[in-house]
Chain A
């Protein structure tokens, strides 16, 4: 017989490991599934509250709400407003929340809540069309003052950005000259700025930002200046001239439409309150998974009930790996190859110590009863069937007695696979008759040790997290099991078994 080259085999194993790890890394990067289950990420709950007085006629309230705010991601939005119809309307690049009611009278308040996650990597959306500067008309003597100030700023700047900074600096100066004083006296500073920039041919507009601070109530929006440099919109702080948006500010309203429109009411006011929460990043990843294409390949898409089943199923390969390792490398003797894994899965439900006690007592009592069965001279199949029933009676008995005595842990004994228990008892009993109690003890302890090891591996929170959320990591486990199948070295137990060979070593 010829020996096949092992190179394709090792190549395949390497490919499996790389594929598994690469997919897992991709999932981590693309979907933000965290490596560790206890990773926390901040989540902002922002609540906009609208107060107004209704006049007893049909009411339409329309609030501008954020759409793709830079540096943030909207996780969820909802409105609380008893009696009002609510919808979110998107048109022409603006999103608005609209409340409607046939008739309302007296003070009203409406709530709009959004959950925001900080996400610095999120790119800004580009505008399709380049905006045009608005036409601005100034009356004299303002026109001359504007002319003069703009000329001064232009002389010191070269780009729209530097022009903006220069203008802000001029308007901000502690010792304003005549022209500037005149301008500031005729309007809000930021409005004057916007109009002057538009006048000089730079498209500019006012946006509203909300500064996020934990547990603040009754906050209002702050205006920010936005200019277009021919390529994209840039944000300036109208007070300091600082370019860019601070990290803790979320842009609530970006286009020039109004913050709130109210029909059928008066005295409208919008205020904001916010709360910082930390949620496991796992929860975030799950909430966002449906959006991305990669998410289709994850288990989150299944109904919750099936998910919990898969959670268990995905742990099994780990148990199988432990059994393979314990048998091939350590050389532990077990009764039935994968019986320990099934017992370990049962331990997951019962928790370790009650599970061990229940398992050992059922098997021990079962062995005693099996002794009586063997004296009845039954055929094998009916003996096993009888044993299965006895095991069921035993577990029922343990559950009832345990419950009556106040140990609810006794109930969990039903998680043990009955048929496996029956076969274990049968095999142990035959082993006892043929090889003596010593061998029963060896194999019994071996099985339990392997079961406990498998249980420890499977019950580790990290194991459960990784196997369920990164199913592709099973390719790595698969490759390791394949490699173990090629292990031709000594088992640990053999170093003991062959110890007498030392005598022949010259």
Chain B
């Protein structure tokens, strides 16, 4: 077993879970704002007010009998995503990329029937994927079409960008790429690749899989160093505006880049993970403390992004 000394971690300014919970989440995140984040329907509404685009909503299924409406809707659709509104950590999300006769092809390539989809919907309604098992509603969204520039790096799945926003300032960012090991999912602990992104430029600074540094994508073999996100400033400003939309001082903003619509907000997270630090190879703490020490915070998203790009770039 390999261990790391806590002094090394302190030197790197690593934010650990207890400290994140006590000093940042409990202190800066108002409990009353959580429903905005934990409920994707509410997130969509709040985001729309601040001109933050989200994937187009196709249908909301809130009752068992409404599943029959879904059957009517699904006939006209090629690809779509079913999500539990109160799901967390990507649980219960089913992405259908195309149809094959009467069957549906999932993002992972597996084939499912309409009956499976309906059972999935009814599971969502019963609260299987929601926090605490509370009854939930299912939302059906338009499928996001990844830009070619990013799609080639990912093994199936949609690459998404996680930006940690502290008091409206984007402090750290990473790109998550699905791999064969992660079964097309963008969860780092399942083996997805995490690419740390430079806040100043949107370029790759470091990449990890299973927390170990890598240079090439394990499935596509492409050099991860070449990654550069187009429209980076615009994305940071979008993420920063989510602070005004929710009032959460410490959150994670998950964005995707759609080929037609540009950056879209996928979801917000009131308890962003710690693995973003490993993808970037540096700790969050110095950056968070720098913002905490600011005497005069900036009031517009543009100014906050300017400040962050100047301060936190490599």
The docked-state distance in angstroms from the alpha carbon of A132 to that of B17 is: 82
Interface contact B123-A490, CB-CB below 8 Å = no
In the complex, which residue of chain B has the Cβ closest to the Cβ of A379? Answer: B126
Interface contact A486-B17, CB-CB below 8 Å = no
- Name the B residues within 8 Å of A49 (CB-CB): none
- Name the B residues within 8 Å of A331 (CB-CB): 17
Interface contact B1-A498, CB-CB below 8 Å = no
Choice from B16, B27, B28, B126 contacting A494 with Cβ under 8 Å: B16
| B122 beta carbon closer than 8 Å to chain A | yes
The docked-state distance in angstroms from the alpha carbon of A500 to that of B3 is: 9
Interface contact B6-A495, CB-CB below 8 Å = yes
Least Cβ–Cβ distance between A323 and chain B, in angstroms:
15
Least Cβ–Cβ distance between B282 and chain A, in angstroms:
6
- Name the A residues within 8 Å of B213 (CB-CB): 500, 503
If the complex has contacts A1-B249, A379-B126, A490-B9, are A501 and B16 also in contact, measured as CB distance less than 8 A? no
| B32 beta carbon closer than 8 Å to chain A | no
Of B18-26, B41-49, B76-84, B95-103, the stretch lying at the interface with chain A is B18-26
Q: Which of B110-145 contact A (CB under 8 A)?
A: 115, 119, 122-123, 126-128, 133
If the complex has contacts A380-B128, A488-B23, are A499 and B4 also in contact, measured as CB distance less than 8 A? yes
- Name the B residues within 8 Å of A501 (CB-CB): 4, 8-9, 12, 14, 277-278, 281
Interface contact A500-B212, CB-CB below 8 Å = yes
- Name the A residues within 8 Å of B212 (CB-CB): 500
The docked-state distance in angstroms from the alpha carbon of A157 to that of B115 is: 114
Interface contact B190-A435, CB-CB below 8 Å = yes
If the complex has contacts A380-B123, A380-B128, A430-B128, are A505 and B11 also in contact, measured as CB distance less than 8 A? yes
- Name the A residues within 8 Å of B2 (CB-CB): 496, 499
In the complex, which residue of chain A has the Cβ closest to the Cβ of B19? Answer: A488
Of the listed residues B4, B14, B249, the one surrounded by the most CB atoms of chain A closer than 10 A to its CB is B4
The docked-state distance in angstroms from the alpha carbon of A399 to that of B212 is: 50
In the complex, which residue of chain A has the Cβ closest to the Cβ of B89? Answer: A434
| B265 beta carbon closer than 8 Å to chain A | no
In the complex, which residue of chain B has the Cβ closest to the Cβ of A2? Answer: B27
Of the listed residues A331, A488, A498, A505, the one surrounded by the most CB atoms of chain B closer than 10 A to its CB is A498
If the complex has contacts A377-B119, A435-B190, are A496 and B18 also in contact, measured as CB distance less than 8 A? no
| B91 beta carbon closer than 8 Å to chain A | yes
Interface contact B126-A489, CB-CB below 8 Å = no
| A328 beta carbon closer than 8 Å to chain B | yes
Interface size of A in residues (CB-CB distance below 8 Å)? 30
- Name the B residues within 8 Å of A496 (CB-CB): 1-4
Interface contact A486-B22, CB-CB below 8 Å = yes
| A126 beta carbon closer than 8 Å to chain B | no
| A173 beta carbon closer than 8 Å to chain B | no
| B88 beta carbon closer than 8 Å to chain A | no
The docked-state distance in angstroms from the alpha carbon of A121 to that of B190 is: 70
Interface size of B in residues (CB-CB distance below 8 Å)? 39
Of the listed residues A485, A486, A487, A503, the one surrounded by the most CB atoms of chain B closer than 10 A to its CB is A503
Choice from B12, B19, B133, B208 contacting A505 with Cβ under 8 Å: B12
If the complex has contacts A380-B128, A494-B17, A504-B282, are A489 and B123 also in contact, measured as CB distance less than 8 A? no
Interface contact A498-B278, CB-CB below 8 Å = yes
Q: Which of A469-504 contact B (CB under 8 A)?
A: 485-491, 494-504
| B211 beta carbon closer than 8 Å to chain A | yes
Choice from A430, A490, A494, A500 contacting B211 with Cβ under 8 Å: A500
- Name the A residues within 8 Å of B133 (CB-CB): 380
Interface contact B16-A505, CB-CB below 8 Å = no
The docked-state distance in angstroms from the alpha carbon of A331 to that of B21 is: 14
Interface contact A489-B16, CB-CB below 8 Å = yes
Of the listed residues A381, A489, A502, A504, the one surrounded by the most CB atoms of chain B closer than 10 A to its CB is A504
- Name the B residues within 8 Å of A435 (CB-CB): 190
The docked-state distance in angstroms from the alpha carbon of A488 to that of B282 is: 19
In the complex, which residue of chain A has the Cβ closest to the Cβ of B64? Answer: A379
- Name the A residues within 8 Å of B277 (CB-CB): 501
- Name the B residues within 8 Å of A5 (CB-CB): none
In the complex, which residue of chain A has the Cβ closest to the Cβ of B24? Answer: A488
| A3 beta carbon closer than 8 Å to chain B | yes
Interface contact B281-A504, CB-CB below 8 Å = yes
The docked-state distance in angstroms from the alpha carbon of A72 to that of B188 is: 74
- Name the A residues within 8 Å of B126 (CB-CB): 379-381
- Name the B residues within 8 Å of A491 (CB-CB): 16-18
Q: Which of B59-92 contact A (CB under 8 A)?
A: 91
Choice from A3, A328, A488, A495 contacting B3 with Cβ under 8 Å: A495
The docked-state distance in angstroms from the alpha carbon of A494 to that of B14 is: 11
Interface contact A490-B281, CB-CB below 8 Å = no
Choice from A1, A379, A500, A503 contacting B27 with Cβ under 8 Å: A1
In the complex, which residue of chain B has the Cβ closest to the Cβ of A377? Answer: B119
Interface contact A498-B18, CB-CB below 8 Å = no
The docked-state distance in angstroms from the alpha carbon of A1 to that of B247 is: 12
- Name the B residues within 8 Å of A497 (CB-CB): 211
Using a CB–CB distance below 8 Å, which chain A residues touch chain B?
Answer: 1, 3, 328, 331, 377, 379-381, 430, 434-435, 485-491, 494-505
Other than A499-B3, A502-B8, give 6 A-B pairs with Cβ distance below 8 A.
A380-B127, A488-B18, A494-B9, A500-B211, A501-B8, A505-B12
Q: What 7 pairs between A and B have smallest CB-CB spacing?
A: A380-B126, A488-B19, A504-B281, A500-B211, A499-B4, A499-B2, A377-B119
17 A–B contacts from the bound complex (CB under 8 Å)? A1-B28, A1-B249, A434-B91, A485-B22, A488-B16, A490-B6, A495-B5, A495-B6, A496-B2, A498-B16, A498-B278, A500-B211, A500-B212, A501-B277, A501-B281, A502-B8, A503-B213
